[in-house]
Amino acid sequence: MRRRKNNSSFGVLFVLVLIVAAGLYVYFSATFERVAPHIVLENSNGYWNLKKPLKIKISDESGIHSYKIVMHTKDGDKTLQYEQLLNPEKELVLKVAPPRGAYTMKDKEIQLVVQAQDISKWNFLKGNLAQQTFKLKIDKKRPNVNIVANSYKISRGGSALVIFKADDDNLDTIYILSNHNKHFKVEPFYKKGYYIALLSWPVKDSGFKASVVATDFAGNVTKSYVPLYLKNKDYRLSKIKISDKFLDGKIAELADQFEETQGVENKLEQFKIINEDVRAKNEKLIHKITSKVPTEMIKNFKMKRMYPLKNGEVVAHFGDHRKYYYKGKLISEAYHLGIDMASHAMAPIKTQNGGVVAFADFNGLYGNMLALSHGLGLYTIYGHCSSFDVTPGEDVAPNTKIANTGKTGYAMGDHLHFGVLVQGIEVRPQEWMDKQWIKLNISDIIKSAKKIIDEQ
């Protein structure tokens, strides 16, 4: 009798162990995973222009068995995609095009319902089901862009101004794109919906073309060409012979200062590294500093002619393409992207235009260098200074002494390297030193644009 009870108890215990084991297997087994598929709408921003396909990503660890995409409108439901996969996949990226004739529908908003089922044996072998509903605003209209006023022409290595109007209920981005893929930032101007930007034609580029680009959240794009007359300008090509005296003197002195030349014994290699690698590093910093553009609305932009060094003589010109030769062999080359001015040792440097000190520190070949921001992405730089009178972040008034000339960095004698940049691109300082050029290309354009805007 006791043996029967023992056998019965053992049988019950065995069954319980089997049940627990089966439960644990189901609970922990990947075959019975309980996580529903993950559904993401990747490129919509909540808008759809009914032209560009939507991108839907479905993922699941066990594998996707089927999916269905339905568009719900005022006129009813329309199945856009449905598929049962013979070979389940862990990730699907679907491009969902609108149905035929959808572009003519009047709905301002639709719903996109996405269902996905995996191959898990959970839920009584039915698997896990996920459903996501995405509300999308329908926007088929492109942004409206109109050029209000712009400079008549732009020279290679020079600057120009453009003012335009852009409006859209769902406006996303506005910028000006050049043919060399430079994105010029724009700043709100004068009244809501109007924008202003300075443009620059890099001296190294053979041509220039610019268009205002406006996009909305639905992906609609408008491009409006800025009508600028192009004036090509020739720049000097200088062939410079390098002497051993120069290599043993200035280059040896500079080679001790820069980490890029540490351990390099060959004097020509030192020169090449300094003239190319160190220069590129220094210019990269300049471009970074001078690429910032204010985002607040600007009412006006007044500039006086620039002439930072009283009685200064120009001793080197902008855009000079310099090729360096040693014993008849081309060693290196570079562009001089500013003008060099000299008067007397440690001469006072003044700015005729107010601005904010964006940089005041040592910058390699440029020595002690100042950078001033004058607004609208316009910057001036002052290289080889012996001393500064201003500090970073300081708001400098017009006609203020800011520094003294010197021979720090790559300078053979006391002088000022004066540069002007527009959104990180070096431009001809001579334009900004010309009162008439500023009037015709900047002041008159702003005055004309304001008059047109006020008449709207």
pLDDT at 166: 97
Q: Phi first, then psi: give them for residue 17, nearest 5 degrees.
A: -65, -40
In the chain, the domains with their CATH numbers are 30-138 (2.60.40.10), 144-233+446-455 (2.60.40.10), 237-423 (2.70.70.10)
pLDDT at 63: 92
The pLDDT tens digits of the residues spanning 55-74 come to: 999 999 889 999 999 999 99
pTM for the model? 0.87
The pLDDT tens digits of the residues spanning 389-433 come to: 999 999 999 999 999 999 999 999 999 999 999 999 999 999 999
List the pLDDT tens digit at each of the 456 positions of the chain. Answer: 555 555 566 565 555 555 544 444 444 444 658 789 999 998 778 999 998 899 999 999 889 999 999 999 998 899 999 999 989 999 999 999 988 888 888 899 999 999 999 998 777 567 899 999 999 999 999 999 999 999 999 999 999 999 999 999 999 999 999 999 999 999 999 999 999 999 999 999 989 999 999 999 999 999 999 999 999 999 999 999 999 999 999 999 999 999 999 999 999 999 999 999 999 999 999 999 999 999 999 999 999 999 999 999 999 999 999 999 999 999 999 999 999 999 999 999 999 999 999 999 999 999 999 999 999 999 999 999 999 999 999 999 999 999 999 999 999 999 999 999 999 999 999 999 999 999 999 999 999 999 999 998
pLDDT at 13: 56
pLDDT at 59: 94
pLDDT at 125: 62
pLDDT at 425: 97
pLDDT at 381: 98
pLDDT at 32: 59
CA angle 184/187/189 to nearest 5° reads 135
Residue 213 near residue 221 (C-beta atoms within 8 A):
yes
The pLDDT tens digits of the residues spanning 296-344 come to: 999 999 999 999 999 999 999 999 999 999 999 999 999 999 999 999 9
pLDDT at 26: 47
